[in-house]
Structure 1
Amino acid sequence: MKSSIMSNSIMNAAAGMLLLVTGFVSSIAIARLLGPEANGTIAFALWVAATGALVAELGTGVILMRCLPQLRARGLGVRERRGFAAYLALPVLVSTVLLVILYGSASWEAEHEGVIGTPQGIVVLTGLLLCVQSIGALSKNYLVGEQRLGAFFRITVISSLLQLALVIGGAIGFGVEGALVGYIAGQLAPFAFAFGILVTPRSNGGYSARTLATSSAVLFIEFVLSAVFLNRAELFFLQQFRSIEEVGFYAVALSLANLALQLPVQLTGSLMPFYVEHRESAEGMLPPGLFAAVMRSFAYITFPLCFGLAAISQPLVVAIYGESFAPSGVIVAILAVGSPAFVFMQLTTQYLYSMDRVGIRLLTTGIGAVLMVAGCLAAVPFFGGPGAAIVRGCVFLTIGCILLASMRGVDMTASLAITVAKVAGSAAACGLAAFAIAGTMPGVAGLAAAILAGALTYALCLRLTQAVPEVDARTIDALLSRLPRRYGPTLQRALSLIAPFSAADARVPAE
């Protein structure tokens, strides 16, 4: 991959991981300060806001990230491209207002009928969070489409600092309501940037309203299905069939599992603009072997992170959240084992979106929604959080397999499958080694020893199975050579032990 896509992917991943760590620390603080039930209430409010924001987006995020590189390649300036973003932002603003009104009305009606007991103040704060989060999402979509990942990272830093300080301070001073105010404050920086786009003179960028509306309609249906049925839908079933406390346990497990999941997911964030830019400059074709290289690169990262987390999940949950959250441990393990399916689903989705093949993604989302509802209805009443986690993993695995089957002729070779299988096997050995150590050594020292043992086992297995092709080793070596002298040479020597490659080719510069 080109150095630009590597740097952009790393910057995007850094911003995403910063948000993840901020949310993770916030959830720990809330769990410690307010307990499982309050944590469940806040988790449900965050789910409502996130789901509403995804629905209100109307698919414009994908359109922005696909069309902005096209407009730049066609010679349109920054002002025209910003105007195009403002053009797409208007329907998002309208849909956001309508959703907030709908949520408020439904909550009032439910409380009036005695169905639920959510306090009015929490309903108001949840609606406000939905509003600022939905509008603020325009900032990320625009900046990623423009490949301005530095600006996106700076906004993320401001948001994270505000959220972390005010969520903790609000929880200490005002309980659940104060914590929700902190989450709202954390969205103000991207909201302010998005407001600047909203007041920009609008331009359709040369696209017909019919074309944009057609793409938006398909993406909107897919996003609605995904947001409602695939984005933490288990919380709803747990609340209905089990208890708000189990919602808190599952929310904690999702937050912890995201530590392993979100690094590779965030790295995929800038792939779609990269694919589109290549297509625009090469008459709709991508360089041979590019998609296979992407798949291998993500396999090296995803499998050890996920399987390693599954191995140490139980002692890790207790060490971070306390003994009262111990039931979350088995849920974390199940979610972590199923996470690679979600990552590879995201990889194929980014490619299909860049090719404007949204129909297959809509079909698989519909299949996933049916499976999620049926699975949760069958498993959650009897098995609670662990059952919901198993259903989640199976749904994403099914979607990923269907999407991969639709990628016929796109670098899907037997050698790629063999490499991925070797990496997965090495990661499984990593998890077994970590599990063995964590089971015999208690406390933080045991966790540290388990992580070290897992990492060494993974490296050894990669070497023994010759899992890393020489072309990947040369590319990684060229990237490591750009690091500061304090780290670069050491990491290059470690790479040469894991994946031996020709010294004559070792210093081939990255493309």
Structure 2
Amino acid sequence: MARQVARNSLLSAMASLATTLAAAGSTIIVARILGVERTGVVTLALWLVTIAVTVASLGLPTAMTRYIAESHDGTVQRALARRFLWPTVAAAGVTFAVFASPALALWIEATDVVWAALAGEDRQTRVAIWLVLGAATTAQVLGQYRLGVLRGQQEFRAAAVVTLWAFALQMAATLAGCLTFGTLGALAGYALGAVPAALSCLATRGCALRPSSEIVARVRRFALYAWAGSVMSAFVWARIEIYFLQRFEGFEAVGLFTAGLTLASLATQGPLLLTGALLPHFAKAHASGKVDHLREAYASATRLIAFLVFPAGLGLAAIMPVVMPLVFGEAFRPAVPVASLLVVASAIGAASVVGSHLVNALERSDFVFYCSLCGAMLAVGAGFTLVPVFGLMGAGAARALIQLTMVAAGLWFITRKLGYRAPLRELAKLFLAAGLAALAARLCLILIPGRWALAAAIPAAMITYVIGVRALRALTRTDTDRLRSAVSLLPRPLSLCGRPVLMLIRA
């Protein structure tokens, strides 16, 4: 069982890594070719797509992963996938119609939400941009549904293939689009990246069996709360700060903030990619009544994710003065302070993702909604208070504080209401070891000037972290055994590199 979960996690990681690298790589391409201000324009336009996708998805991708995984009957799985495909198609079609509607364009122009960003474009180009955004939204809605179905069916290899094709297409299309058509081309590149997953919806097989009314009702209730929670979460996790930055600081501030968020995503998303198989695994364990196994799996997975994400986040924050201009260019150096703050906050928040999968597996998506609702209100309030006064750093501080507040609320709910012990002591030890590693990296930057400092900072941080984890006994023997199982599934060169590290940290 553990080996199967590790294999599924690695395949899921490949799929998610392709998506993360496509987003980050496209942002870097846009920043390098179009500059800071145009990066802000593209980001704001894509933020609208993110919000639209969240609304139009209806919470069904997560619901499919949760309930398809619960069933061991392939026929029932196909019946569920087919039953909720058509509401998804209908929502995607309505969304495209809205983006293509002249009424929407007139409303946007009148309220000055995004239209000012396109003031330098002719009317024909502006119309084309809205059509491209509609197409991107439609493709992402369909693609997310299909990927949710594949994860529920444990078809992680198929999901990886689809996302790898999407990665290659998006990178190539974004580069060609930026060089040829500027802002319109960049957005078209993002839209094309969503096409492979959307087309894979055609592979959804028909089924004569109809799912029972009981399971349909459970899916609907779960999806409703998941949908409402994701809409509220969009105000906290989906870059709501860029709207307020554009209103009060301009598009250059949006571009700088986007660079910080991109690096924060790269630092923390890598380890989080390994959690893609946890929701279906937890759902199966819950359906089978394996409570003790579920408790132990939650604690162990939380420790392992923190083991990976804490040094990645704190370490990147330590070397940010060199990394930011190296990746995005000197024009983005003013983003270093806010990027460092965002990376540290993201590292702490990332360790709570395992808990989110647990909450969904236990069918408590209602808590996700209420927690996200509170976070959304805080985000809007901070947008009207902190951003006008403190600008870029105000936006970063608001995002960090709200995310950490939601993490604390989640831990309280899991421990007090659900009765699952969070490994807080081990998390504190891992954070301390990561902090010592970050300090070693920053000392290298101070002592060695220029970009060559990275050649010393990264190995110094890694060695310090491994020694710290070993000395503090932050991982259990079970944790290291699971890491060894995962490392054994990697290609041989990577596996050989990982084994000495595991020997050093073994409790």
TM-score, normalised relative to structure 1: 0.90
| 8 A contact 1:122–1:177 mirrored in 2 | yes
Provide the C-alpha distance between the structure 1 equivalents of 2:58 and 2:394, rounded to a whole number of angstroms: 31
Q: CA deviation at 1:321?
A: 1.1
Q: Secondary structure at the match of 2:463?
A: helix
The code of the aligned residue for 2:80 comes to: F
Q: Would the alpha carbon gap of residues 278 and 439 (structure 1) be closer, same or farther in structure 2, given more than 3 Å must change?
A: same
| 8 A contact 1:86–1:202 mirrored in 2 | no
Q: CA deviation at 1:288?
A: 4.6
For 1:469, the equivalent position in structure 2 comes to 476
For 2:84, the equivalent position in structure 1 comes to 88
The gaps in structure 2 that reach 5 residues or longer are 119-125
The code of the aligned residue for 1:497 comes to: L
| 8 A contact 1:341–1:396 mirrored in 2 | no
Which stretch shows the higher mean deviation, 362-371 or 86-95? 86-95
| 8 A contact 1:279–1:285 mirrored in 2 | no
Q: Would the alpha carbon gap of residues 215 and 332 (structure 1) be closer, same or farther in structure 2, given more than 3 Å must change?
A: same
| 8 A contact 2:282–2:294 mirrored in 1 | no
Q: CA deviation at 1:214?
A: 2.6
Q: Would the alpha carbon gap of residues 430 and 201 (structure 1) be closer, same or farther in structure 2, given more than 3 Å must change?
A: same
| 8 A contact 2:53–2:141 mirrored in 1 | yes
Which stretch shows the higher mean deviation, 468-477 or 125-134? 468-477
Aligned residues: 493
Q: Would the alpha carbon gap of residues 34 and 407 (structure 1) be closer, same or farther in structure 2, given more than 3 Å must change?
A: same
| 8 A contact 2:7–2:486 mirrored in 1 | no
Q: CA deviation at 1:60?
A: 0.7
Paired residues for 1:184-199 under 5 Å: 184-197=191-204
Q: Deviations over 1:202-234 (max 9, x none)?
A: 765224444433332222211211124531101
For 1:137, the equivalent position in structure 2 comes to 144
Q: CA deviation at 1:45?
A: 1.7
Paired residues for 1:350-389 under 5 Å: 350-389=357-396
| 8 A contact 1:319–1:443 mirrored in 2 | no
For 2:443, the equivalent position in structure 1 comes to 436
| 8 A contact 2:67–2:219 mirrored in 1 | no
Q: CA deviation at 1:481?
A: 5.1
Provide the C-alpha distance between the structure 2 equivalents of 1:382 and 1:188, rounded to a whole number of angstroms: 41
Which stretch shows the higher mean deviation, 102-111 or 326-335? 102-111
Q: CA deviation at 1:451?
A: 1.2
For 1:107, the equivalent position in structure 2 comes to 105
Q: Deviations over 1:465-494 (max 9, x none)?
A: 222223323333454456666554664333
Q: Deviations over 1:67-126 (max 9, x none)?
A: 11222x2x342xx42332122122222223333344443332232576733333222211
| 8 A contact 1:86–1:203 mirrored in 2 | no
Provide the C-alpha distance between the structure 2 equivalents of 1:20 and 1:88, rounded to a whole number of angstroms: 27
Q: Would the alpha carbon gap of residues 113 and 255 (structure 1) be closer, same or farther in structure 2, given more than 3 Å must change?
A: closer
The code of the aligned residue for 1:200 comes to: G
Q: Would the alpha carbon gap of residues 401 and 228 (structure 1) be closer, same or farther in structure 2, given more than 3 Å must change?
A: closer
For 2:45, the equivalent position in structure 1 comes to 45
For 1:499, the equivalent position in structure 2 comes to 506
Q: Deviations over 1:332-380 (max 9, x none)?
A: 1011110133213322111011010112111111111111111222211
The code of the aligned residue for 2:187 comes to: L
| 8 A contact 2:244–2:387 mirrored in 1 | yes
Q: CA deviation at 1:394?
A: 1.2
Which stretch shows the higher mean deviation, 285-294 or 137-146? 285-294
Q: Would the alpha carbon gap of residues 264 and 475 (structure 1) be closer, same or farther in structure 2, given more than 3 Å must change?
A: closer
Q: CA deviation at 1:154?
A: 0.7
Q: Would the alpha carbon gap of residues 453 and 101 (structure 1) be closer, same or farther in structure 2, given more than 3 Å must change?
A: same
Provide the C-alpha distance between the structure 1 equivalents of 2:490 and 2:17, rounded to a whole number of angstroms: 21
Provide the C-alpha distance between the structure 1 equivalents of 2:478 and 2:291, rounded to a whole number of angstroms: 25
Taking only the aligned residue pairs, the percentage that are identical comes to 26
The code of the aligned residue for 1:97 comes to: G
Instruction: Say whether 1:262 aligns with 2:269.
Output: yes
Q: Would the alpha carbon gap of residues 486 and 126 (structure 1) be closer, same or farther in structure 2, given more than 3 Å must change?
A: closer
Instruction: Say whether 1:292 aligns with 2:288.
Output: no
| 8 A contact 2:314–2:438 mirrored in 1 | yes
Q: Secondary structure at the match of 1:289?
A: helix
Instruction: Say whether 1:200 aligns with 2:209.
Output: no
Provide the C-alpha distance between the structure 1 equivalents of 2:300 and 2:111, rounded to a whole number of angstroms: 56
Instruction: Say whether 1:157 aligns with 2:139.
Output: no
For 2:123, the equivalent position in structure 1 comes to none
Equivalent residue for 1:97, pick from 87, 93, 96? 93
Provide the C-alpha distance between the structure 1 equivalents of 2:291 and 2:478, rounded to a whole number of angstroms: 25
Q: CA deviation at 1:132?
A: 1.1
For 1:70, the equivalent position in structure 2 comes to 70
Q: Deviations over 1:379-427 (max 9, x none)?
A: 11122222111111111111111111112264416xx322111110000
The code of the aligned residue for 1:81 comes to: Q
Q: Secondary structure at the match of 1:468?
A: coil
| 8 A contact 2:229–2:372 mirrored in 1 | yes
For 1:504, the equivalent position in structure 2 comes to none
Q: Deviations over 1:263-289 (max 9, x none)?
A: 122222211100111223346664452
| 8 A contact 1:345–1:396 mirrored in 2 | no
TM-score, normalised relative to structure 2: 0.91
Paired residues for 1:323-334 under 5 Å: 323-334=330-341
Q: Would the alpha carbon gap of residues 468 and 201 (structure 1) be closer, same or farther in structure 2, given more than 3 Å must change?
A: closer
Provide the C-alpha distance between the structure 2 equivalents of 1:309 and 1:167, rounded to a whole number of angstroms: 26
Provide the C-alpha distance between the structure 1 equivalents of 2:481 and 2:111, rounded to a whole number of angstroms: 65
Q: Deviations over 1:122-167 (max 9, x none)?
A: 2221122111111111121111111111111111111111111111
